[in-house]
Amino acid sequence: MGKRFENNPIISKDDIEPSRSDWKIECVLNPGAFSFQGKTWLLLRVAERPDQKEGFISLPIYTEDGETRVVEFAVNDPSWNTSDPRKFKNGDGKTFLSTISHLRLMCSDDGIHFHEPTDIPPIIKSSGPYETFGIEDCRVTKLENRYHLTYTQVSENGVGVGHMVTDDWVNFKKHNMLFMPHNKDCALFEEKINGKYYALNRPSGLGGLGGNYIWISSSYDLKNWGDHKCVMKTRHGKWDSSRIGAGTSPIKTDEGWLEIYHGVDDNSRYCLGAVLLDLQDPSLVLARSEFPIIEPEAVYEKEGFFKNVIFTNGHIVKGDVVSIYYGAADEVICGATFSIKTILERIL
């Protein structure tokens, strides 16, 4: 349904420098997207780790004071479970990420060719006790003329939603955690609805009941959130059977709020689909993709750090065209354009 950019992948790890000379970038992925000063900007997730020593695996973590610490174990140490390349578990049942992520700004005049800005510091790093394993997958929402960043805060305390606000991309006001663990994939609506702010989010039912479903919450002040409602669940036997999560801010259309979301099947294959939410009550689903609007087909989507992944948390809307920026196979950044009208016709 969409058209992939001809020069995909548009950003890969060789296009930028690591944040430290003794670290290596493993992947660039999952960018937030926004318009600022007449340009298109991406806020990438950059996943790094120390240079690896022969026979050992080294995992980086930050301390609460922002220092770095390296956890190291032998490749053949049987007490470590390394079956998922994204995270490793030790004999005490503690989970560590294989890489640590920060956020990085890149900008572009045409939305396709990106470079690092010269007048704005490009790196946004973790800080404090809830980000010691890094920050990831930032959504950028322009709300009341300010940029709101909602991103994943990862630490041994769990995975929660962080929130920062900026006007100029130089000065940031960091707020308290917006949704507590386990929660991620938080997409703010770009305007209030009947006097309230709304956010899609994805708490995880880690016990026996519930699942990885998309919820909606509302707030009068962007700080205190409540009125939590489950918007949609995974669907047994379909492309979104095991996990679903919001992309970025819903697109307002005459038919309703159009949300691009990711769905994961039982084989950990990540595709994108669309859902239409009621304009006045966005907890109501009016229509939902029977089939993905895009699925891993290109080599760069099928092969990489984590195979068969298309994951988005950033798009730019211009008239009927939405340019969706996405992480492919958790390793490179790509783009594709879609007609909003065509997506709506397909799901309605």
- Residues near ligand MAN, by CB under 6 A: 29-30, 86, 136-137, 270, 306, 309, 311, 327, 330
**Closest to 312 in 3D by CA, of 301, 303, 302:** 301
Distance in Å, CB of 171 to ligand MAN, minimum = 27
Cβ proximity to ligand MAN, 72 vs 266, nearer residue: 266
Comparison of 86 and 223: residue with beta carbon closer to ligand MAN: 86
Q: How far is the CB of 301 from ligand MAN (least distance, A)?
A: 12
Measured from the CB atom, is 29 or 178 closer to ligand MAN?
29
CB of 282 vs ligand MAN, minimal distance in Å: 22
Nearest distance from C-beta of residue 309 to ligand MAN, angstroms: 5
227 torsion bin: left (phi>0), alpha (psi -120 to 50), beta (else) = left
Nearer to ligand MAN, 99 or 218 (CB): 99
Whole-number Å distance between alpha carbons of 57 and 50: 9
Output the smallest distance, CB 159 to ligand MAN, in A.
Answer: 9
Q: What residue number has its CB nearest to ligand MAN?
A: 311
Q: Which is nearer to ligand MAN, 159 or 316 (CB)?
A: 159
Residue closer to ligand MAN, measured from CB, 159 or 178: 159
Within 10 angstroms of residue 93's Cβ, the number of other Cβ atoms is: 7
Gap between the Cα atoms of 224 and 165, Å rounded:
16
| 225: Cβ contacts below 8 Å, ≥ 6 apart | 178, 179, 199, 217, 218, 219
Q: How far is the CB of 200 from ligand MAN (least distance, A)?
A: 15
DSSP per residue, 257-317: EEEEEEEE-TT--EEEEEEEE-SS-TTSEEEE-SS-SB-S-SHHHHSSSSSSBEEEEEEEE
Tokens at 158, concatenated: 């769990």
Comparison of 197 and 311: residue with beta carbon closer to ligand MAN? 311
Q: How far is the CB of 182 from ligand MAN (least distance, A)?
A: 12
Q: Which residues pair with 336 in a beta bridge?
A: 4, 324
Tokens linked to 262:
């990711």
Buried b (16+ CB within 10 A) or exposed e, 53-71: eeeebebbbbeeeeeeeee
